[in-house]
Amino acid sequence: MSVGFFAAILAFSAPAFAQDAGGAAAPAPAAPPLASVLPPNAPPTFADLAEKQLDAVVFISTTQAPPQGGPQAGPRGPELPGFPPGSPFEEFFREFRDRQRGQPQQQQQQQAPRPTAALGSGFIIDPAGFVVTNSHVVSEAAEISVTMHDGTKLPAKLVGVDGPTDLAVLKVDTKKPLVSAPWGDSEALRVGDWVVAIGNPFGLGGSVTAGILSARQRDIQQGPYDDYLQTDASINRGNSGGPLYNLNGEVIGINTAIYSPTGGSVGIGFAIPSSVARPVIEQLRDHGQVRRGWLGVQVQSVTPDIAESLGMQEPAGALVTSVSPEGPAGKGGVRQGDVITRFNGESIEQMRELPRVVATTKIGSAVPLELLREGKAETLTVTVGELEPQEQVALSGASGAPRPETTVDTKQVLGLTLSQLTPGLRDSFSINPDVEGVVVTEVGDASAASERGIEAGDVIVEAGQEPVKTPEDLNRLVDDARSQGRKTVLMLLSRDGDLRYVPMPIEDRKG
């Protein structure tokens, strides 16, 4: 180590002096006490909160069935005593042990696969032994264990899971009442308020971190009901499922995800707010499953281009792309192309708000629904149905569809090469028999259509909210929009049976 390094340490650690009027060295003024530099309302310590709530936070380990197919290369070997599986210390000491034995990991003898273990966090919500965690912590688990803060390890039974909100409820049997964490109101929390996270990062055991609420209503594209709280309290792998507290020691969030290019905390963590989690948890605890309201529509966001196409002053609401005829919305009079602006008295400013509001509405209740139709406001009444679990069906994408080999008449409109639908084109692009419109056979690489994600095989069903049967229909509707001073024309596209609206710029042309 260099002399310069030690000099830097000495310079940093030596007491500072100032010159007095006579030139003599005098001690520098003492640093102000910590209390004087903290914000006025900052708590001097989180120790009381941590002391009360550590016993309510548990550490969850799961054992998953080993992969099938015989021995695997590069096994990790037997577990090391004293280190939980998945902990960073486990891997470090395994490599050290292997070097001491002269056995590089690459040359270890193949062994049969063993069950894999995962680590996470959770918290007790009922002294009877009900525990909350994330569903991704316990998914596909063959065995689940819950370890209390005092080291007591108990087997846990899965009561229920809810994939859309990434929540799960476990149950442990215990002879004594357990310390439970109280729920708090996440809606009362303000951006900038203090929050405290407790969990099991990297399998190290109970860890307490503090920070502030950084933002609300984050959509991180994890599910249809995303409404995450964002915090800079340190959250890492193993914190998933742990509680996020307010200063009253109440759970206002469930730590679920982090944003990180490295896999470690960079001060951007996300928690499910208690306002979303608590109703789901109560249904899982009482019934083992979640019942949600259902409207029977597919919707998309209203972008500025779409708003301009529809003659709206501001982009807001949820644009209906399809309606189930036998669903609550269809029976209530909702149509394709309507923009839903309020549901059951709650304003719908963004598309993603509608699924959450509908899901939490009482099934069977008749509620008002406000919408814009052709620029005019209307109010309908719909009876909320129940959302049934649907099987996920893998569909082939149109992006990889082959170019048609048959010769067809085509027309260029807005940089798109279009053709009427023929049996050959339906087969070439795997277009459903019930889809009508004009098919896109080619998209220019640098065109506006390409920038908006239009692909060969897409079917233009409507333009300007009118049906399109031929390429000439689309050309006429584009001219109509241009004559009305529109900058875009709103097109309804079908791809693999799914509908979506795309605002296409109207390019000036000559001749």
Residues 6+ apart with CB under 8 A from 110: 71, 72, 73, 75
Annotation marks residue 135 as catalytic: no
Nearest Cα neighbor of 501 from 334, 299, 314, 224 is 299
Residue 153 near residue 93, CB atoms below 8 Å: no
Question: Which listed residue (121, 136, 226, 305) is catalytic?
Answer: 136
240: annotated active-site residue? yes
Q: What is the DSSP letter of 186?
A: G
Beta strands in 89-231 (DSSP E): 116-126, 130-133, 143-147, 153-162, 167-172, 194-199, 207-218, 228-231
As a whole number of angstroms, the distance between CA 300 and CA 319 comes to: 5
Extended strands (E) in 325-397: 339-343, 346-347, 366-373, 376-383, 385-386
**186, 240, 309, 494: the active-site residue:** 240
Block residue for tokens 């003492």? 30
Tell me the three state secondary structure of residue 336. coil
Residue 287 a catalytic site member: no
Instruction: Please tell me the distance from the alpha carbon of residue 311 to that of residue 503, in angstroms, as a whole number.
Output: 13
271: enclosing H helix or E strand: strand 269-273
Distance between CA 342 and CA 317 in Å, rounded? 8
Q: Pairing between strand 143-147 and 57-64?
A: antiparallel
Element (H, E) at 426: helix 423-429
Identify any residues that bridge with 231 across adjacent strands, giving them in sequence order.
Answer: 213, 269
Number of C-beta neighbours around residue 375 at 10 A: 9
Task: Considering the candidates 162, 166, 338, 473, report the single residue annotated as catalytic.
Answer: 166
Query: Distances in Å between the alpha carbon of 31 and those of 18, 27, 400, 423?
Result: 14, 12, 67, 83
> What is d(CA 434, CA 426) in angstroms, rounded to the nearest whole number?
11
Contact 429, 457 (CB under 8 A): yes
Gyration radius from the chain CA atoms: 30
DSSP string, 216-250: EEE--SSSTT--EEEE-S---TT-TT-EEE-TTS-
Q: Which residues form the catalytic set?
A: 136, 166, 240
